[in-house]
């Protein structure tokens, strides 16, 4: 989830190996990186107008990136101020609210990339994208830039919504199966009564065959979400035959409250499972604890719980408190945090299935007095909490883990399964508008860090917001982006 304005990009790979708060790397070379795919958006604002250009770059290991797709350049006369506005929030992924690229994913072996391009959802601000019919759709390409082909039309459901503050919350996901043969995503489709609603679909990357898996009834976003929010989002493969997704739909009367629940379905469309909502104890109540044998497929999620957050000041437009929960076998539930803050919003289970990483602006160990957003690690049973970063921008952050303009604090985001952790080295990748290495004063970058907090590396070098001598405003930010472990 992101908060703030949109972004633009420009990327140069940096070989920076510096110690994070967890200590140095002892001189050992950094783990070899896999395939990094990112959208590069660059805008220029002058007295004559606004110009913006996007390109999808793919880099394998330490090789120079290759450009695999470029939509037409966008030009708006007389509105040069749009460039500064687009970069002010320092989050490149938010470009999906105005530009052509909507999502990107790297296959689990890093050998191929899929991405979506459309001109249906340019809303903030609306831009003349001028895409040709053959430039719209879901596309597949090899990681070396060869074999580009169109798999099918783009989704008719947007992967973001505009929040109450006018910022962009994005949930854009194209999810590869573990074998890399199938991609899951959300699109419009008929329910059992032929009423159109958000559904989970798959597309075969070899044949382009599209298959609708769910027949969810129409739904409306729950309280606290705008009317334009998708009712199904974040599809991912739990295994080759099982897809997990979030939905506020009420199939077979199993979600009468209409809250977002983590549901699953088989790739043949069978065995839809709607778990019981995570129980939250009301004031004066309690949750009965039981000791159980846990399974080997835990999932972590940020859940809204009742109460008044301790953020000071509260973050406008963010209802309730969010805590990290671990859900195991679809029924065993463990609350991992009790920070009572609004912005504990993203989590990732380690490939070792024994650790959970999450972002929070809390100071549970007395190591984060500025209350800036940090990356934390915790055991899956709630022990050994430790911070992996020590980022700060101001003496007292007011934006928490949500991306914001300079002077309010800085954020970071981790999550996304295959696209955010290398299963070989356990290297974590995340995006942040913090400046821990003194090379990101006005922008946002993609970073890598080891699970113990060592070996922090900055993987991009976008200029963020800058001004040239003649007054031209330049904006560069990376995103959307994805990662896979393959390195030739």
pLDDT 10s digits, 107-131: 999 999 999 999 999 998 999 999 9
Burial class (CB in 10 A: 0-12, 13-18, 19+), 282: exposed
Q: What is the pLDDT of residue 469?
A: 94
Residue 286 predicted with pLDDT over 80: no
The candidate with the shortest Cα–Cα distance to 233, out of 189, 266, 200, is: 200
pLDDT 10s digits, 448-462: 999 999 999 998 888
- What is the C-alpha to C-alpha distance for residues 114 and 174, in angstroms, rounded to an integer? 7
In 1-100, at which residue ranges do the beta strands (DSSP E only) sit? 35-46, 49-60, 66-69, 74-77
The candidate with the shortest Cα–Cα distance to 187, out of 177, 201, 169, is: 201
CB 260 within 8 A of CB 246: yes
Q: What domains does the chain contain, in order, with CATH numbers? A: 37-276+295-483 (2.130.10.120)
Min mean pLDDT across 38-42, 96-100, 273-277 is at 273-277
* Tokens, residue 284: 């004066």
Distances (CA, A) of 374 to 184, 393, 467, 474: 31, 12, 30, 29
The candidate with the shortest Cα–Cα distance to 173, out of 245, 108, 238, 231, is: 245
Residue 237 predicted with pLDDT over 70: yes
Distances (CA, A) of 240 to 151, 196, 297, 312: 20, 27, 13, 44
Q: What is the pLDDT of residue 449?
A: 94
- What is the C-alpha to C-alpha distance for residues 226 and 235, in angstroms, rounded to an integer? 20
* Tokens, residue 368: 């984060």
Identify the bridge partners of residue 67 per DSSP, sorted by sequence position: 57
* Tokens, residue 118: 């459309």
The whole-number average pLDDT for the span 6-17 is 28
Vertex 395 angle, CA 391 and 400, to 5°? 60
- What is the C-alpha to C-alpha distance for residues 56 and 116, in angstroms, rounded to an integer? 11
Identify the bridge partners of residue 200 per DSSP, sorted by sequence position: 186
The whole-number average pLDDT for the span 342-357 is 90
- What is the C-alpha to C-alpha distance for residues 292 and 131, in angstroms, rounded to an integer? 55
Cβ neighbors of 249 (< 8 A, separation 6 or more) are: 197, 198, 216, 217, 218, 219, 231, 232, 255, 258
Distances (CA, A) of 72 to 43, 131, 134: 13, 7, 12
Residue 2 predicted with pLDDT over 60: no
Collapsed DSSP state (helix, strand, coil) of residue 84? helix
**Residue of 343 and 165 predicted with greater confidence:** 343
Give the count of beta carbons closer than 10 Å to the beta carbon of residue 296.
7
pLDDT 10s digits, 396-409: 998 888 876 666 88
**What is the rounded end-to-end Cα distance, in angstroms, of the chain?**
32
Residue 12 predicted with pLDDT over 70: no
The candidate with the shortest Cα–Cα distance to 323, out of 287, 288, 279, is: 279
Confidence of residue 486 (pLDDT cuts 50, 70, 90): low
The candidate with the shortest Cα–Cα distance to 86, out of 169, 2, 170, 9, is: 9
The candidate with the shortest Cα–Cα distance to 120, out of 151, 154, 86, is: 154
pLDDT 10s digits, 146-197: 999 999 999 999 988 887 777 787 776 899 999 999 999 999 999 999 999 9
* Tokens, residue 65: 């990136």
Residue 284 predicted with pLDDT over 70: no
Distances (CA, A) of 181 to 73, 216, 316: 32, 25, 42
The candidate with the shortest Cα–Cα distance to 371, out of 325, 319, 309, is: 309
* Tokens, residue 282: 């009301």
The candidate with the shortest Cα–Cα distance to 411, out of 372, 358, 439, is: 372
The candidate with the shortest Cα–Cα distance to 392, out of 363, 435, 431, 362, is: 435
Q: Which helix (H) or strand (E) holds 321?
A: strand 321-328
CB 29 within 8 A of CB 473: no
The whole-number average pLDDT for the span 22-36 is 67
Q: Which helix (H) or strand (E) holds 87?
A: helix 82-87
Cβ neighbors of 337 (< 8 A, separation 6 or more) are: 323, 324, 344, 358, 360, 362, 378
The whole-number average pLDDT for the span 401-428 is 76
CB 8 within 8 A of CB 43: yes
Q: Cis before residue 132, ω within 30 degrees of 0?
A: no
Residue bearing tokens 């110009």: 51
* Tokens, residue 224: 């606290």
Average pLDDT, the chain: 85
Percent of the chain with pLDDT over 70: 86
DSSP-derived letter for residue 427 is -
């Amino acid at each position: 989830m992101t908060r703030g304005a949109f972004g633009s990009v420009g990327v140069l790979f940096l070989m920076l190996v510096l110690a994070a708060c967890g200590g140095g790397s002892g001189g050992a070379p950094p783990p070899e990186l896999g395939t990094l795919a990112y959208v590069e958006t660059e805008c220029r604002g002058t007295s004559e107008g606004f110009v913006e250009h996007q390109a999808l770059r793919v880099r394998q290991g330490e090789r120079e990136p290759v450009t695999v797709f470029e939509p037409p350049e966008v030009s708006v006369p007389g509105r040069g101020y749009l460039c500064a506005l687009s970069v002010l929030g320092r989050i490149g992924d938010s470009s999906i609210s105005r530009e052509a690229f909507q999502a990107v994913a790297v296959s689990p072996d890093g050998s191929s990339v899929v991405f979506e391009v459309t001109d249906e959802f340019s809303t903030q601000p609306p831009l003349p994208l001028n895409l040709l019919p053959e430039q719209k759709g879901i596309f597949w390409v090899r990681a070396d830039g060869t074999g580009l082909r169109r798999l099918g039309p783009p989704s008719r459901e947007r992967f973001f919504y505009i929040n109450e503050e006018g910022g962009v919350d994005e949930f854009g996901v194209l999810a590869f199966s573990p074998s890399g043969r199938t991609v899951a995503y959300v699109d419009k489709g008929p329910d059992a009564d032929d009423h159109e609603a958000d559904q989970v679909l798959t597309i075969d990357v070899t044949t382009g065959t599209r298959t609708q898996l769910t027949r969810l009834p129409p739904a409306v976003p729950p309280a606290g979400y705008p009317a334009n929010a998708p009712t199904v989002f974040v599809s991912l493969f739990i295994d080759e035959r099982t897809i997990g997704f979030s939905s506020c739909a009420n199939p077979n009367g199993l979600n009468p409250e209409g809250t977002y629940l983590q549901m699953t379905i088989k790739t043949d469309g069978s065995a839809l499972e709607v778990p019981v909502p995570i129980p939250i104890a009301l004031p004066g109540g309690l949750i009965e604890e039981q000791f159980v044998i846990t399974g080997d497929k835990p999932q972590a999620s940020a859940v809204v719980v009742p109460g008044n957050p301790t953020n000071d000041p509260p973050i406008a437009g963010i209802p309730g408190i969010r805590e990290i929960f671990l859900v195991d076998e679809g029924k065993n539930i463990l609350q991992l945090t009790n920070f009572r803050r609004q912005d504990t919003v993203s989590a990732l289970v380690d490939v070792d299935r024994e650790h959970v990483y999450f972002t929070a602006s809390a100071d549970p160990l007395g190591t984060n007095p500025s209350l800036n957003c940090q990356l934390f690690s915790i055991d899956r049973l709630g022990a050994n909490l430790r911070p992996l970063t020590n980022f700060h921008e101001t003496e007292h952050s007011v934006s928490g883990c949500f991306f914001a303009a300079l002077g309010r604090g800085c954020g970071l985001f981790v999550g996304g399964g295959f696209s955010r952790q290398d299963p070989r080295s356990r290297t974590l990748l995340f995006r942040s508008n913090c400046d821990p290495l003194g090379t990101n004063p006005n922008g946002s970058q993609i970073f890598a860090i080891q699970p113990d907090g060592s070996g922090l590396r900055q993987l991009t070098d976008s200029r963020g917001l800058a001004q040239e001598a003649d007054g031209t405003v330049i904006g560069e930010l990376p995103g959307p982006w994805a990662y896979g472990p393959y390195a030739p």
